[in-house]
């Protein structure tokens, strides 16, 4: 079932739901919609368990969670996020647990791969009719609807050319949403000229997306973006990646300071970065920022070597180090 069909038709939510496809923004919306329908706010904390894919190493804990009785509620909900990052055996363990959810409880898994993916094979295709599958892949019509709804939510308007450009870009919807939030601050009808001047979505947002994934602890996704950049431009990928990473941690460092504020050009990022700054803290953000800056310097000065493979290895190493910052 496509995401907007799920929203519009509001089907019954069974004991197993798999959110698949590659648009994280729609996956997050689907997840929140499910929670709103199943668990009222006053009983949510007592009946909700979240397990991040990167932390999933104990199938027994998951089975225990999904077998637990709800408390003062009709349903208990267990969420496993980013299942697409799991290796083969943990995915098999997760699949086995998913097929044993008792009636009355619900397991929701986000497995953000295309339903037609061959490797990894989507969990949804393996469970078949045993699950409600919500596909977050966005068609052209879905992207236009997303842009129009986000504009309405922000109390903003845009001309048709701008809406078509945003909806028709190759950027993921997270980048489109970020651009809309930034452009809405103009306080007037958004034009294509505004979009050309301020937008990442009609340029190349990959280095920015890499940095965002790192600070949020999504290492596998970040490395996939970095590897794509190195494949397309072996000698020119490392500097944009390290620069974007330094900028991102610089913003977080600033927000983690007492009274810290983002510069005017980055105010639109505060909703996302403020919680990360609170979690990471000033000391770790400063260390991460300095580590990324030293990475840039090592490339420019030649300390990192002149071979693109050396640069790629350095980026991978720094990425692995800094992706842990938000998880400690």
Do the beta carbons of residue 13 and residue 101 sit within 8 Å? no
Q: What is the pLDDT of residue 264?
A: 61
User: In the chain, where are the structural domains located?
Assistant: 3-135, 140-198, 206-327
Collapse the DSSP code of 246 into the 3-class scheme (helix H, G, I; strand E, B; otherwise coil) and give the result: helix
Distances (CA, A) of 243 to 103, 210, 287: 50, 11, 15
Q: What are the pLDDT digits (tens) for 80-130? A: 998 988 989 999 999 999 999 999 999 999 999 888 888 889 999 999 899
Q: What is the pLDDT of residue 198?
A: 67
Q: What is the pLDDT of residue 296?
A: 86
Q: What is the pLDDT of residue 262?
A: 79
Q: What is the pLDDT of residue 76?
A: 97
Q: What is the pLDDT of residue 118?
A: 83
How far, in Å, CA of 138 to CA of 2, rounded? Answer: 8
Q: What is the pLDDT of residue 206?
A: 82
Q: What is the pLDDT of residue 201?
A: 60
CATH architecture for the domain at 3-135:
3-Layer(aba) Sandwich (3.40)
Q: What is the pLDDT of residue 265?
A: 59
Q: Which of 303, 85, 264, 162 is nearest to 179 (CA)?
A: 162
Question: Span 206-327: which CATH code?
Answer: 1.20.272.10
How far, in Å, CA of 327 to CA of 49, rounded? Answer: 17
Consecutive 10-residue averages of pLDDT for the chain (328 residues): 97 97 93 96 95 84 94 94 90 94 96 87 93 94 96 95 86 82 87 76 73 92 93 88 90 88 73 89 92 88 87 94 79
- pTM across the whole model: 0.67
Q: What is the pLDDT of residue 199?
A: 64
Domains 3-135 and 206-327 share a fold: no
How far, in Å, CA of 20 to CA of 135, rounded? Answer: 5
Q: Which of 124, 132, 212 is nearest to 172 (CA)?
A: 212
Q: Which of 291, 114, 264 is nearest to 198 (CA)?
A: 264
Do the beta carbons of residue 115 and residue 135 sit within 8 Å? yes
Distances (CA, A) of 114 to 37, 136, 248: 26, 9, 29
């Amino acid at each position: 079932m496509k995401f907007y069909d799920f929203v519009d038709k509001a089907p019954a939510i069974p004991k197993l739901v798999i959110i698949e496809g590659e648009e994280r923004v729609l996956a997050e919306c689907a997840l929140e919609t499910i929670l709103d329908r199943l668990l009222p706010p006053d009983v949510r904390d007592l009946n909700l368990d979240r397990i991040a894919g990167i932390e999933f190493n104990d199938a027994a804990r998951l089975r225990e969670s999904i077998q637990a009785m709800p408390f003062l509620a009709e349903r208990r909900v267990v969420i496993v996020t980013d299942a697409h990052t799991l290796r083969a055996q943990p995915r098999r363990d997760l699949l086995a647990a998913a097929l044993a959810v008792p009636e009355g409880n619900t397991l929701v898994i986000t497995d953000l791969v295309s339903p037609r993916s061959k490797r990894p094979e989507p969990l949804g295709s393996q469970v078949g009719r045993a699950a409600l599958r919500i596909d977050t892949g966005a068609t052209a019509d879905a992207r236009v609807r997303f842009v129009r709804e986000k504009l309405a939510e922000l109390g903003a308007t845009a001309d048709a050319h701008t809406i078509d450009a945003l909806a028709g870009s190759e950027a993921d919807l997270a980048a489109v949403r970020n651009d809309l939030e930034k452009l809405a601050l103009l306080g007037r009808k958004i034009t294509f000229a505004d979009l050309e001047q301020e937008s990442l979505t009609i340029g190349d947002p990959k280095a920015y997306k890499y940095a965002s994934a790192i600070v949020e602890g999504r290492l596998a996704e970040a490395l996939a973006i970095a590897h794509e950049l190195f494949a397309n431009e072996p000698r020119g990928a490392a500097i944009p990646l390290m620069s974007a990473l330094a900028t991102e941690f610089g913003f977080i460092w600033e927000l983690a300071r007492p009274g810290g504020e983002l510069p005017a050009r980055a105010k639109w990022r505060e909703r996302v970065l403020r919680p990360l700054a609170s979690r990471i803290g000033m000391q770790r953000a400063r260390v991460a920022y300095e580590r990324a800056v030293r990475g840039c310097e090592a490339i420019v000065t030649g300390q990192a070597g002149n071979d693109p493979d050396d640069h790629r290895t350095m980026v991978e190493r720094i990425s692995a180090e800094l992706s842990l910052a938000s998880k400690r």
